[in-house]
Amino acid sequence: MAAAKRIIVGLGNPGFQYEKTRHNIGFEVIEALSVRIKEPLKTKGQSKIAWGSWRGQPVGIVQPQTFMNKSGLAVEELVRKNGLSPEDVLVIVDDLNLATGAIRIRGKGGAGGHNGLEDIADWLDSNDFPRLRIGIGNEFGKGQQANYVLEAFTEEERVLIDPAIEKARDAALTFVTDGIVTAMNRFNG
């Protein structure tokens, strides 16, 4: 398929032991997108990727396989190979500063302490890429952040997270068809 107009990147860590953990919510959104656009993810280069379209608009969906904090190399490779600008890439990440299940979309901004976003900004030499953050809460003790993000969601959290994944999927598809401003207006708040 020809180069995608937009790429949606969900961040996470590869490997069975990380599936369904808080830090891998970006991967879960990409899996939901794969079902929606009816294209399976396949390993290519440093990512699992599927190329398809949504309502006539070409899109690539991506799970970098370089681990969360080293996602920038895989994203930069896709941007370069497909002749895209940072504004064409929506990055989906977990966020400790948002309530569990809340989502927030921005057209650009800082990393906010998220190492995956920071690595992407470094590789793209830009913070001007859209990002969609999904709240995972912050119910952890001092010094327990790393353990917390690598734990699976509780059953109580899943009640909030599963609808958030669907909302994030729909927001990402709105970004593909209507752009970041419409996605922000429709899904923030």
76 CB neighbour count, 10 Å cutoff: 19
What 8-state DSSP symbol labels residue 14? -
141 CB neighbour count, 10 Å cutoff: 8
The span from the CA of 189 to the CA of 176, in Å, is: 20
Whole-Å CA distances, 144 to 15, 120, 126, 140, 157: 22, 25, 30, 6, 18
Query: Is 114 one of the catalytic residues?
Result: no
Encoded tokens for 99 = 């309530």
Give which of 126, 6, 130, 13 is closest to 63, Cα–Cα.
Answer: 13
Burial class (CB in 10 A: 0-12, 13-18, 19+), 143: exposed
What SS3 state is found at 110?
coil
Of these residues, 7, 12, 22, 23, which one is catalytic? Answer: 23
Instruction: Give catalytic residue positions.
Output: 23
